[in-house]
Amino acid sequence: MCDREGPGGASSPALAVSGAPLLEPLGLLHGRAAAEAVAAGQAAWLAGGPVAFCLMRKDGAVLPVGSLPATWQPILARITRRPPPWAGLPAHRPVVMGIVNVTPDSFSDGGRHAATDVAIDAGRAMAAAGADIVDVGGESTRPGSQPTPVAEEQARILPVIRALAAAGIAVSADTRNAVTMAAALDAGARIINDVSALAHDQAAAALVAQRGCPVVLMHMRGTPATMQSQTDYADIALDVTRELAARLEAAIAAGIAPEAIALDPGIGFAKAPGQNEALLARLPVLLNLGCRIVAGVSRKGFIGRVSGEADAMRRLPGSLAAGLQALAGGASVLRVHDVAETVQAVRVWHAIVTES
């Protein structure tokens, strides 16, 4: 729940981020029940649907969404509106982003795609399997990792990006370095995906603004080497929302168009055991910021802790479960290692929740 009451004693409306209160969507619904609750004014569509949400009072009674005062309507509108078109990708269904780590040391697949030709083949296979985006990275940001020299990062990823972009594949460059961002965009990348939310490199925000490209801002504290020592949160969902709001405001102040920005809660980054699950359970809070949500849960450590599976390569079932939970909570992009399996799961999930 949020940390102070909103209208009518509701526990859902609550928090101030940059002076604006937030609503916490609860009681998620889909299918006929969602459509009927929305028609009755009891619920509203989360990020344009197909999942709807309610608001609740502290006593557990439903607070009809239609009863919110006019002053709260702009806040409600941010949560209910369908995210604007982003990176030329489909807006009517979830988007799958395949991961190609051109590194020797990434947490689950380090070394598998270290060779350029292998990475290119992997990206092509992901696109053929249904990936809408292929995310190419040349620096491991696993907990405890050290920075990769920029020249080495570029040597790893630029040939891969060129080949995939030449094949007509939408490519995202996973980097926190401005010079690599520029080189990747020149090589044909469409999207920048920055684990530091443009905070690592002071030139990054201006570069993205000047190029006018879509960008993913991910939540992280500190650096990959230090982040796991910075997991003290008063309320994980609200604190992550506050901190991403600050990065969003900085990006907009730098000249980046709001509709070009997607937000990633940073599952596994500066998050202690239990916090990842809690953040996923309350993911709809992030929709208060009015941006598309990207969720990267694939093979993450929390799945191993919950399931007892130590081998990251054997965490597909848990990854699918966490990814579908993220979609139900308002995410519209899933960043995954196992593309074919995820595409199938997402298609089935989407067919079920849109049935009425």
Q: Residue 344 domain-assigned?
A: yes
Q: Residue 1 domain-assigned?
A: no
CATH number, position 295: 3.20.20.20
Same domain, residue pair 118 and 64: no
Name which of 245, 251, 233, 250 is nearest 285 in CA terms.
245
The single residue of 221, 271, 300, 315 carrying the catalytic annotation is 300
Q: Residue 85 domain-assigned?
A: no
Give the integer Cα–Cα distance in Å for 221 and 253: 21
Look at residue 9 and tell me whether its pLDDT is greater than 50.
no
Give the pLDDT confidence score for residue 20 in this predicted structure.
64
Q: What integer is the mean pLDDT of 32-44?
A: 92
Same domain, residue pair 101 and 196: yes
3-state secondary structure of 275: helix
Give the pLDDT confidence score for residue 83 in this predicted structure.
85
| Confidence at 105, pLDDT banded by 50, 70, 90 | low
Give the pLDDT confidence score for residue 11 in this predicted structure.
42
Look at residue 19 and tell me whether its pLDDT is greater than 70.
no
Give the pLDDT confidence score for residue 14 in this predicted structure.
42
- What is the tens place of the pLDDT at every residue in 181-229? 999 999 999 999 999 999 999 999 999 999 999 999 999 998 888 898 8
Give the pLDDT confidence score for residue 27 in this predicted structure.
86
Residue ending a domain, choose from 55, 80, 105 = 80
Look at residue 109 and tell me whether its pLDDT is greater than 90.
no
Residue ending a domain, choose from 21, 52, 80 = 80
Q: Residue 89 domain-assigned?
A: no
Residue ending a domain, choose from 80, 110, 127 = 80
Is 300 among the residues known to form the active site? Answer: yes
- What range does the domain containing 33 cover? 7-80
Same domain, residue pair 76 and 212: no
Percent of the chain with pLDDT over 90: 73
Give the integer Cα–Cα distance in Å for 168 and 226: 38
The single residue of 221, 292, 315, 335 carrying the catalytic annotation is 335
Is 335 among the residues known to form the active site? Answer: yes
The tally of domains found in the chain comes to: 2
E strand or H helix at 134:
strand 133-137
Q: Which amino acid is it at 277?
A: E
3-state secondary structure of 317: helix
3-state secondary structure of 56: strand
Same domain, residue pair 102 and 231: yes
Same domain, residue pair 72 and 183: no
Same domain, residue pair 202 and 234: yes
Same domain, residue pair 158 and 208: yes
Same domain, residue pair 333 and 199: yes
Give the integer Cα–Cα distance in Å for 208 and 316: 34
Give the integer Cα–Cα distance in Å for 176 and 337: 20
Same domain, residue pair 151 and 242: yes
- What is the tens place of the pLDDT at every residue in 255-310? 999 999 999 999 999 999 899 999 999 999 999 999 999 999 999 999 999 999 99
Name which of 281, 269, 272, 302 is nearest 174 in CA terms.
269
Residue-by-residue DSSP string for 302-314: HHHHHH----GGG
Give the pLDDT confidence score for residue 113 in this predicted structure.
73
Same domain, residue pair 76 and 123: no
Give the pLDDT confidence score for residue 12 in this predicted structure.
45
Q: What integer is the mean pLDDT of 229-237?
A: 93
Angle at 73 between CA 57 and CA 65, to 5 degrees: 35
- Owner of token pair 């040939």: 159
Mean of pLDDT over the chain: 90
Same domain, residue pair 259 and 339: yes
Same domain, residue pair 164 and 252: yes
Give the pLDDT confidence score for residue 261 in this predicted structure.
97
